[in-house]
Structures are given as C-alpha cells and as structure tokens.
Amino acid sequence: MAAPKAFSSEVGTGSRQENASTQSKSAVDMEALSLRIVFGVLCAIAMVFLIGPTIVVILTSFTPSESLRFPPSGLSLRWYQALLEADQMQAAAWTSLVVAFWTTLISAVFGTAAALAISRSRGAVASTR
C-alpha cells in the first residue's frame, strides 16, 4: 500500500511530482540502456579487430601454394609439416617451454608466499571487510 500524500496548498502537485519522478526514472533507464549499447558495439568492434586477423592467418595457413593467399585455393598441411621439420623452430619451442615451466614454478612459489603473508598479517591489506 502506498504512503499517503502530503497535504499541499497547490492542487495537483502530487501528480506533477510523480510524473517528474517517472520521467527521471525513464531517462535514467534510457541512459543506462544507451550506455550498454555503446559498450556492446565498442566491444564487438574490438573483437573484430583483435580476433579477425588471427582467423585470417589460420585460414591462410592451410593454403597449398608457395605463397600465402587468402582465400586459399585448396587445403593442405604443407606449412605445418615444414614447421615441424625446422630444427630452429623446434629449438625455439623447447626454449619457450623451459621458460614457461620455470616462470610458472617461481610465480606459484612467490604468489603462495605472498598470499600466506597477507592472510596472516593484521594490516589494512588483510582486512576482509
């Protein structure tokens, strides 16, 4: 049940206030909706510019010709075979795996130590509120 309206010396003031609040509420809703639409469009544009080139490169990697062409005239795993046979690429991949392993190990050790130190401290950083 709605609260009783306050007495007013002007006739119809209550309905004006209700209309004003309804209009401001719909204006806020429209503003929030337009903001969501703008952010959605910007995210879609960013995804096209970030993911689009990757998709094109993956599609052109299946071309059977000497040079990479888009769209590919046929399908082949030729470039992947050449990649696996290249000693320099295998050495680079092995180096990347070694660096990734040690980076992960060191980060896990330091991250765990930092988490334990923060959780056991009594400072403002450790407060849960």
The reported pLDDT for the residue numbered 129 is 57
List per-residue pLDDT tens for the chain, 129 residues long: 555 555 445 555 555 556 656 666 676 688 888 889 999 999 999 999 999 999 888 888 888 877 766 677 788 888 888 888 999 999 999 999 999 999 999 999 999 999 999 888 877 666 665
The reported pLDDT for the residue numbered 3 is 52
The reported pLDDT for the residue numbered 74 is 82
The answer to whether 73 and 65 have CB atoms below 8 angstroms apart is yes
User: Rounded to whole angstroms, how far apart are CA atoms 127 and 113?
Assistant: 18
Amino acid at 70: F
Is this prediction's pTM over 0.85? no
Q: Which residues contact 56 (CB under 8 A, 6 or more apart)?
A: 70
Among candidates 56, 61, 85, which has minimal Cα distance to 74? 61
The reported pLDDT for the residue numbered 92 is 95
Helices 78-85 and 87-120: crossing angle in degrees, nearest 10, is 80
DSSP-derived 3-state class of residue 74: coil
